[in-house]
Amino acid sequence: MPKGQSHSYNDEEKAFLKNNCVLPRKELADLFNQKFGAQVNISAISSFCKRHGWLTGRDGKLKKGNQPWNTGTKGVCKPNSGSFQKGVKPTNQKPLGHERICSKDGFVLIKVAENNPYTDAETRYRYKHHVVWEQHNGAIPVKHVIRFFDGDPLNSAIENLCCVTKFVNMRMNQNRVNDLPIELRPTAKVIAELEVMLFEKVRANQ
């Protein structure tokens, strides 16, 4: 979209954004642009959803009882009794396999022996359901996501995970698959895959 020109949303586009407002804004913008052949940036999508009250449910605030990371540190760069000297590892350094819940999205993170591309550290935290899936099936394909059959982001057992495209994931959300009895969800996944396949075939023939 040219700079300074706003996008005029039609009813179908508005319904799409409303039905998928819980998605992370980058993913929502990517899917929106791919579906409608648009070039709307993330900021515009986010602002439009915010104006209409279509929020993700993630406010980014610390929960009651949590403390900010720099509690007890005087200044950003000034060393004090709570700071570690270079080369000295803290006694409470978490071991490989340590798990914690991400405050942003509620998924379980696990510490793994992989290079951190942001800090160049030898270890990093990754989503546990991604790690478990890759241990059994290899790398997650591009434009795919891992879903939880029972809808519980804390249950990363391999039998509870499935890998689907972002469009199938979106369709499953639209079909409210997580509201179905758990024994019907694998069938609902197949139905969503067929619906997306049919939609793409029809669009290709237009």
- Per DSSP, the residues of 16-54 read HHHHTTTS-HHHHHHHHHHHHT----HHHHHHHHHHTT-
HSE toward the beta carbon, residue 97, CA cutoff 13 A: 0
Averaged pLDDT for residues 187-199: 95
pLDDT in tens, 114-172: 988 888 888 999 999 999 999 999 999 999 999 999 999 999 999 999 999 999 999 99
Query: Burial of 80 by CB count in 10 Å (0-12 exposed, 13-18 middle, 19+ buried)?
Result: exposed
Q: Tell me which range, 6-15, 115-124, 189-198, is most confidently predicted by mean pLDDT.
A: 189-198
Q: Which tokens is 199 given?
A: 């939609």
What is the mean pLDDT of the segment spanning 12-19? 87
Residue 40 confidence class, pLDDT cut points 50, 70, 90? confident
**Cβ atoms of residues 44 and 5 within 8 Å:** no
Q: Where are the domains of the chain?
A: 9-58
Query: Residue 83: its pLDDT value, please?
Result: 52
* pLDDT number for residue 196: 94
DSSP β-bridge partners for residue 147:
162
Q: Is 0.85 surpassed by the pTM of this model?
A: no
Q: Which residue has the higher pLDDT, 84 or 26?
A: 26
